[in-house]
Amino acid sequence: MRLLLISNSTNAGEAYLEYPKRQIADFLAGSAAGGDRAVDTVLFVPYAAVTFSYDEYEAKVAARFGEFGVRVDSVHRHANPAEAVRRAQAIVVGGGNTFHLAKTMQDQGLYEPIREAVLERGVPYVGWSAGSNMSCPTICTTNDMPIVEPLSFKALNLIPFQINPHYLDAHPDGHAGETREMRIEEYIAANKGMNVAGLREGCMLWVENGRMSLIGERPMRLFRYGQAPRELTAKDDLSFLL
């Protein structure tokens, strides 16, 4: 299984997918499933887009991926999306609204074909923001509003822990509501056996050959029920979470 799970697409003041483009290029240069050649075409899942079209999303991602010689083929252009997944060299799931993404993937019957591709055939998977949420057992640690109702909160379950992308430590002045940490503490109180990785912006998780590492200058905050949150860095082996 090969996964690249990115917290956010864009850092403040940067162009779209600027900061993670080298890691995405390196990851896709590893190999396509079942062979030694690098990935030259990815199947893109744009269903997290809500306020702009899937065509626009595809073009935006294609412009960036084109810089390192990878073609983007969006699943929304296929009459049979599940069959497109079965033929994919690699799968890329973009960010946006996680509930919209989950509902549309469920409606299109993509969960099992993607799980089979990634877990059984070793097809590389790249996700950012909502796309990273989708790799988890559920979408319950997303930051998004439930603007639509999916069939369930289940996600692809490629990894056995939850991710909270865009994790923030901040508690703004004058804000009397819950912090991100408090919301995650609620989740682990209700789901005591589940770990949650607070993945700060500018960071990503690379999973390959049964090992997982953090890439980025900021630490990852790990939440476990009954334990104080832990800070883990790029120097730590995170494979114990798998």
What would the mean pLDDT of 160-178 be, rounded to a whole number? 84
Q: Can you tell me which residue has the tokens 């430590």?
A: 169
Pure H helices in the chain: 21-28, 54-65, 81-87, 98-107, 111-115, 130-133, 180-190
> Over the chain, what is the mean pLDDT?
95
Instruction: List the domain boundaries for the chain.
Output: 2-241
Q: Is the per-residue pLDDT at 11 higher than 80?
A: yes
* Residues 108 and 81: beta-carbon distance below 8 Å: yes
User: Span 2-241: which CATH code?
Assistant: 3.40.50.880
Q: Is 7 in the active site?
A: no
The pTM (predicted TM-score) of the whole model is 0.95
Q: Which of 31, 78, 166, 236 is catalytic?
A: 166
Clarify whether 144 is annotated catalytic: yes
Of 12-16, 69-73, 169-173, 199-203, minimum mean pLDDT range: 169-173
Please enumerate in sequence order all residues whose Cβ is within 8 A of that of 55, keeping only pairs 6 or more positions apart, or say none.
74
The mean pLDDT of 105-120, rounded to a whole number, is: 98
- At 33 the pLDDT is 63
Mean pLDDT of 49-68: 98
- Residue 129 designated active-site: yes
Q: Of 129, 135, 213, 236, which residue is the catalytic one?
A: 129
